Amino acid sequence: MGISQDDRIKQLKAFDDTKLGVKGLVDAAAGGSVAIPKIFIRPADELAQDLELARTSLRVPVIDLNGVDDNGSSLREEAVEQVKQASEKWGFFRVINHGIPMKVLQEMLNGVREFNEKDVEMKKDYYSRDPEKLVKFNSNYDLYLSRSANWRDTLVIDMLNTYDVDPQYLPSVCRNATLDYLNHLKKLVDTLFELLSEALGLETNHLKLLECEKGRSLACNYYPACPMPEQTLGISKHTDASFITVLLQDEVGGLQVLHRNQWVDVEPIPGALIVNIGDLLQILSNDKFKSVIHRALGNASRTRTSVACFVDGVSTPAKVYGPIEELITKESSQMYTDFTVRDYIIKFFSRGLDEKSGLNHVRI
């Protein structure tokens, strides 16, 4: 039996006011069984829809970046072709030999876990739903908009407008690890945009000249073990409002991609990173590359951590983006209107995560 809207709002507010997130619910159980509040239970129609979608043994492509820095080499040409195929057909791919040391990746994940598991009062200090706050902790940015809350807490580091982060604003427990990871990520993101440019048949620096790599934000996600993973989700199905997203996930897994109306498990590969095309690059590519639906399941016995880096381009001062002129042809007419990143992001965050794609706002 469902709950009334008034009761739901009261329960959402009571949960939010604790400033402890989902981890607070787990801690309150003190080792006993965790009772999942009704605000986390997915609607019956959504659960029924899930039963209609098949699971598949297909695998998200893996691309080896070893040797791609050698322009004109056969290794680079092969990687460009693989990026092209994956971006057109999947919207997702995994990269190995990307140049970021395993130690850097592991310390980033450890920092996220320590932030969530160490000092309760420190977490409360960061808890906020203020969109202007650059570093904040909360549970479900769309808590009051979604049909059901997700079993997930998030530390957000917003560099969308500042294009950098002042170390003093980062939690001390994960400060060095975060700065190190961000520093290593810069080169990889530059490489990815070069490969994506070439995969679109453009000059190597085309997307770089558009400053697609400039604005970024990190979502450091913590998914406590969930006693009823079949009734709730770690993160609802959605597409990303970014040019690309680079995801670091631990060995627990849980990420799924919707491919040909089937959920594909993105199995963890030690040291690999996951790259997906976001809405903004689908627009720029005039529908050549696809921003696809994905989600994360809960795990009944293990806590999962992940770090998503959303690469969002220039937000401030406002810069107009639109489909790339070279990709508009007689055979492929213009599919989208021009937009600014700021407007697109504002619209994206003003709705529930699992609502229809934001692409509808700019589709011709």
Could you report the per-residue pLDDT of 217-239, keeping only the tens digit for each?
Answer: 999 999 999 999 999 999 999 99
pTM: 0.96
Q: Bridge partners of 257?
A: 264, 294
Q: What average pLDDT values come out for the chain (364 residues) when binned by 10 residues?
A: 82 97 91 85 92 83 95 93 98 98 98 95 95 95 94 97 92 98 97 98 97 96 95 96 97 95 94 98 98 96 97 94 96 95 90 80 91
Task: Report which secondary-structure segment, H or E, holds 289.
Answer: none
Quote the distance between the C-alpha of residue 10 and its chain's center. 29
Residue 31, pLDDT score: 67
CATH of the domain at 350: 2.60.120.330
Residue 2, pLDDT score: 59
Please provide the DSSP assignment of 131-195 as one string.
TT-SEEEES-TTTTTSSS--S-EEEEEEETTTSS--GGGS-GGGHHHHHHHHHHHHHHHHHHHHH
Report the alpha-carbon distance of residue 93 to residue 247 in Å, rounded: 10
Domain tally, the chain: 1
CB-based contact 302:262 (threshold 8 Å): no
Residue 53, pLDDT score: 81
Choose among 109, 91, 82: nearest CA to 271: 109
Lookup: tokens for 25? 């619910």
CB-based contact 46:147 (threshold 8 Å): yes
Domain of 35 in residue numbering reads as 5-361
Residue 260, SS3 per DSSP: coil
Report the alpha-carbon distance of residue 149 to residue 125 in Å, rounded: 22
